[in-house]
């Protein structure tokens, strides 16, 4: 029975992945929802949908796609076309709902006025500014009073073009006007951290305008701005954005080699006979797929190889002159004759990531099925055997959706490569302390700084293993906490002689009189066993002494992934406060008047010391 | 699509156990026959290449009328 239930749930989840059959979802939505709600450990969220049109279909589909991502939404839905009024007049029902996320479902139909024929450019510009003022007042009020993450549709194009192709070039053309507004929305998104665009201009092009709007009855009879087919596409896209906000995007792409990254079999054909490059139609397809993968790697997706090949042969493939991908792009490399599930497990261990962070791409359906069966946590998209569709399939299921790309993302491959150097270095020492000392580690530990808030939010929502409470915060909540003197906040960056590990630890504590309760303490697994937690604790004690805090309460909430920190508070000298209740363990530490630092091998850098002393370190961020 | 297939599809749209509908049921007496199921019916007919409008649906009294509107084979099972 258990395996039947698992199979059914697997079928349900597959129904919501590429290739999505819209008819199946429409027919079976109630059954799908019922099965998806049986999942355990669903993350709860509150989403307010503010519509400029009927939102029932969008809400229904969004619920399914969010459940498929392990997120259970509670919804608030504004009255028909009441999105502005609900916010401007602070509808008590919306305010009491206290959403984590506000999704603003407006479309071209909600543009208050298009330019008149032959309207002067200066008047068109005024029109743009008025439209922006209308939306910005909505966004600012949500940011200021609700603190929610905003997901805002940009605009799709109107169905008809009275001016024909002039619509695109003339400033009074409707198409031109929509594109200008979209550019303004994009600019706002770039400059505000709790604001994300749902790109319906792209989606409508992807779906096709006829399918996007569907029959005219959807608008005239039901005031649905989109057809049910388009609602499926839109909901899928919004769910991908929400998923990334909750840290559920994948981290690692594991790739086969032969007939996946190049045409041919390297062991048989040799590098000179591989099909790769612009001289051959199929070679160009593989080249474009390599380019796609390289672009993922550039913005922080970890790459790994899992290939049935001799290792030396496999590596040689990357010396092909047309190969865009190079050996150094990969943070793990398993080329041998072992079963692929075994190799993928080894990759996860080596990279210190969960199996559920991995996407596996292989042209061979037998290998795909075997991995999917043996490692159900690994995402194994059905890419088929034609490499020209691989990128499309990966794109469609938005495995690697991100809220932002931050500098730490660009350096991710380098971190993993330098980790390999550290591991090699460790092998030369018989005493672990001597090894740690040899690393010449320095740490920057300070209260939250505006420049790091995005990375802090990212880490909070991605870290599972060294995480005492697995509490998640939206970017809006992180910004609010950073500004609130009722909180103690610390971030930690760690560098050593091999390189900069980046921002790797976060701590949030809420102050009640002379006590601070640690609601969050996490650390990236890439710096485990370096005593970074001692360095963080030393600074926490400093902060407590400076603020007159006498007691620290540590909370440990066990999860499936964080058993490694079960003894964390005990190791720091905390005392257990008794039996666990509601799945939480409470630990207590009395802050001593004098304290000897625990850190033995990490030196705090001057930058952090200066930042900690600066009055600006606890001030509001420069925007939002 | 056969008549039986259509009825099974209507069972799903209305969240009824498979095999519930026989065709004689009056739409106004079906609890889940609401705007959502009406929209779903229109969308599914569209995916099958049949355009139906709300006003046409408004002339239907029974499930069998919908079957006829969706141009389903009338041969009973």
Q: ipTM, 2 decimals?
A: 0.85
What digits encode the pLDDT tens for the residues A228-238?
999 999 999 99
The CATH number of A252-396 is: 3.40.50.1000
Of the candidates A27, A214, A229, the beta carbon closest to that of B9 is on: A27
Distance from CA of A22 to the nearest CA of B (A): 9
**Which of A32, A228, A231 is the mutation pick for testing B, counting most B CBs within 10 A?**
A228
Which chain B residues have a beta carbon less than 8 Å from that of A221? 53-54
DSSP tag of A157:
P
Distance between CA atoms of residues A221 and A494, nearest Å? 60
Of the candidates A26, A30, A222, the beta carbon closest to that of B35 is on: A222
What digits encode the pLDDT tens for the residues A90-114?
999 999 999 999 999 999 999 999 9
What digits encode the pLDDT tens for the residues A14-28?
888 888 888 889 888
**Which of A215, A216, A224, A235 is the mutation pick for testing B, counting most B CBs within 10 A?**
A215
> Where along chain A do its domains lie?
41-245, 252-396, 442-618
Which chain A residues have a beta carbon less than 8 Å from that of B13? 26-27
Distance between CA atoms of residues A197 and A241, nearest Å? 9
Which CA distances in Å does A543 have to A453, A481, A485, A619? 20, 16, 12, 16
> How many Cβ pairs closer than 8 A exist between chain A and B?
47
Which chain A residues have a beta carbon less than 8 Å from that of B51? 215
Structurally, what CATH architecture does the domain formed by B3-69 represent? Orthogonal Bundle (1.10)
Question: Is there a contact between A27 and B46 if contact means CB atoms under 8 Å apart?
Answer: no
Fold observed for domain A442-618: Aminopeptidase (3.40.630)
What pTM does this model have? 0.79
- Does A442-618 match A41-245 at the fold level? no
Which chain A residues have a beta carbon less than 8 Å from that of B42? 215, 217-218
What digits encode the pLDDT tens for the residues A236-284?
999 999 998 888 889 999 999 999 999 999 988 889 899 999 888 999 9
Please name the residue that has the structure tokens 């991710």: A412
> Where along chain B do its domains lie?
3-69
Of the candidates B15, B43, B51, the beta carbon closest to that of A26 is on: B43
**CB of A416 within 8 A of CB of A331?**
yes
Distance between CA atoms of residues A469 and A461, nearest Å? 12
Of the candidates A57, A60, A215, the beta carbon closest to that of B51 is on: A215
What digits encode the pLDDT tens for the residues A287-334?
999 999 999 999 889 999 999 999 999 999 999 999 999 999 999 999
Quickly state the pLDDT bin for A607 (edges 50, 70, 90).
low
Phi first, then psi: give them for residue A466, nearest 5 degrees: -85, 80
Q: To 10 degrees, the CA torsion angle through A596, A598, A599, A604?
A: -50
Distance between CA atoms of residues A213 and A232, nearest Å? 12
- CATH superfamily of this structure's domain A41-245: SGNH hydrolase (3.40.50.1110)
């Amino acid at each position: 029975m258990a395996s039947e239930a698992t199979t059914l749930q697997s079928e349900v989840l597959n129904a919501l992945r590429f290739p999505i059959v819209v008819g199946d979802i429409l027919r079976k939505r109630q059954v799908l929802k019922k099965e998806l709600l049986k999942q355990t450990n669903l993350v709860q969220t509150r989403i307010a949908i503010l519509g400029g049109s009927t939102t029932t279909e969008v809400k229904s589909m969004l619920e399914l796609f969010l459940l498929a991502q392990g997120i259970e939404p509670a919804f608030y839905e504004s009255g028909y076309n009441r999105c502005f009024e609900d916010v401007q007049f602070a509808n008590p029902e919306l305010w009491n709902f206290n959403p984590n996320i506000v999704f603003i479902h407006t479309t071209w139909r909600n543009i208050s006025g298009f330019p008149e024929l032959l309207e002067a450019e200066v008047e068109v510009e005024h029109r743009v500014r008025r439209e922006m003022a209308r939306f910005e007042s909505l966004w600012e009020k949500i940011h200021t009073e609700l603190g929610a993450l905003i997901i805002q549709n940009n605009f799709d194009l109107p169905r008809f073009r009275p001016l024909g192709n002039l619509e695109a070039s003339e400033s009074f053309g409707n198409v031109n006007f929509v594109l200008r507004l979209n550019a303004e929305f994009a600019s706002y998104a770039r400059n505000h951290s709790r604001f994300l665009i749902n790109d319906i201009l792209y989606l409508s092009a992807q779906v096709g305008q006829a399918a996007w709007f569907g029959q005219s009855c959807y608008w005239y009879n039901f005031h649905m701005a989109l057809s049910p087919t388009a609602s499926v596409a839109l909901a899928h896209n919004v769910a991908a954005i929400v998923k990334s906000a909750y840290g559920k995007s994948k981290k690692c792409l594991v790739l086969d080699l032969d007939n996946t990254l190049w045409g041919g079999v390297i062991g048989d054909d040799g590098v000179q006979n591989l099909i790769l490059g612009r001289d051959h139609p199929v070679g160009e397809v593989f080249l474009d797929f390599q380019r796609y993968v390289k672009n993922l790697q550039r913005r922080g997706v970890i790459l790994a190889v899992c290939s049935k090949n001799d290792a030396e042969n496999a590596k040689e493939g990357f010396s092909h002159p047309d190969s865009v991908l190079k050996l150094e792009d990969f943070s793990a490399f398993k080329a041998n004759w072992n079963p692929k599930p075994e190799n993928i497990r080894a990759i996860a261990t080596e990279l210190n990531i969960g199996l559920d962070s991995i996407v596996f791409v292989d042209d061979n359906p037998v290998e795909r099925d075997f991995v999917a069966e043996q490692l159900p946590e690994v995402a194994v998209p059905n890419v088929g055997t034609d490499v020209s569709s691989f990128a499309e399939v990966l794109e469609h299921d938005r495995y690697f959706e991100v809220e932002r790309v931050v500098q730490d993302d660009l350096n991710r491959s380098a971190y993993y490569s330098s980790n390999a150097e550290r591991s090699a270095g460790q092998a030369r020492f018989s005493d672990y302390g001597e090894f740690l000392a040899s690393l010449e580690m320095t740490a920057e530990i300070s209260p939250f700084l505006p420049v790091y808030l995005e990375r802090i939010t990212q880490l909070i929502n991605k870290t599972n293993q060294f995480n005492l409470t697995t509490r998640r915060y939206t970017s809006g909540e992180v910004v609010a906490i950073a500004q609130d003197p009722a909180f103690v906040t610390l971030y930690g960056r760690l560098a050593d002689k091999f390189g900069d590990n980046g921002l790797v630890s976060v701590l949030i504590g809420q102050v009640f009189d002379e006590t601070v309760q640690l609601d969050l303490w996490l650390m990236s697994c890439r710096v485990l066993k370096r005593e970074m937690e001692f360095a963080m604790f030393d600074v926490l004690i400093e902060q407590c002494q400076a603020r007159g805090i006498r007691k620290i309460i540590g909370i440990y909430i066990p999860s499936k992934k964080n058993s490694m920190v079960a003894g964390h508070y005990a190791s720091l000298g905390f005392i257990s406060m008794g039996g666990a209740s509601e799945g939480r363990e409470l630990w207590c530490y009395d802050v001593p008047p004098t304290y000897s630092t625990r850190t033995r091998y990490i030196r705090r850098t001057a930058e952090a010391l200066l930042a900690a002393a600066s009055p600006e370190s606890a001030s509001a961020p420069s925007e939002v | 699509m056969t008549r039986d297939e259509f009825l099974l599809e209507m069972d799903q749209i209305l969240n009824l156990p498979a095999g519930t509908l026989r065709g004689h049921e009056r739409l106004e007496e079906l609890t889940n026959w609401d705007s959502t199921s009406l929209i779903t019916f229109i969308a599914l007919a569209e995916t099958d290449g049949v355009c139906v409008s709300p006003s046409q649906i408004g002339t239907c009294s029974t499930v069998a009328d919908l079957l006829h509107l969706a141009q389903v084979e009338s041969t009973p099972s």
